[in-house]
Amino acid sequence: MDDSIVIFNPDVIYGKVTDQDGNEYKTVTIGTQTWMAENLRTTKYRTGEAIPEIQDSTAWVKSSLKSGAYCNYRNTTGDSEIKMYGRLYNWYATSDTRNLAPEGWHVADTFDWNVLIKHLESATLAGGKLKETGTGLAM
């Protein structure tokens, strides 16, 4: 995979973590927390079991969908777009006991976000401090 499609801040020292699919992600420490600096793109739970992919938007929002699932932004199949945007997971996938996040990691909860916001001074300022500069990822 060509990493040139994703631009990272050259002034930041990144760590790394690998998910159950073998995807490698940059990580960054902010305050006392370490976060993934990229969006998750695994297709498996930590146990190795597949997470179903749902491409039909009607099926995605149906109240009958009561199990974990993922989709790709705009249903793309392009590796570079998936690397850039990650995958989208429903609540059932993020809360499943088989765990979506890589070993030693968890999906951020309200407590995690509040610690981050406090470190970044306020909810009003946090978004601006974390977002991409420019519109390079706009589609």
Domain ranges of the chain: 3-112
- Contact between 49 and 98 under an 8 Å Cβ cutoff? The reply is yes
| Residues 48-101: tens digit of each pLDDT | 999 999 998 888 877 778 899 999 999 999 998 999 899 999 999 999 999 999
Stated pTM of the model: 0.85
Q: Give 26's contacts (C-beta < 8 A, 6+ positions apart).
A: 8, 14, 15, 16, 36, 37, 38
Residue 2: pLDDT band with limits 50, 70, 90: very low
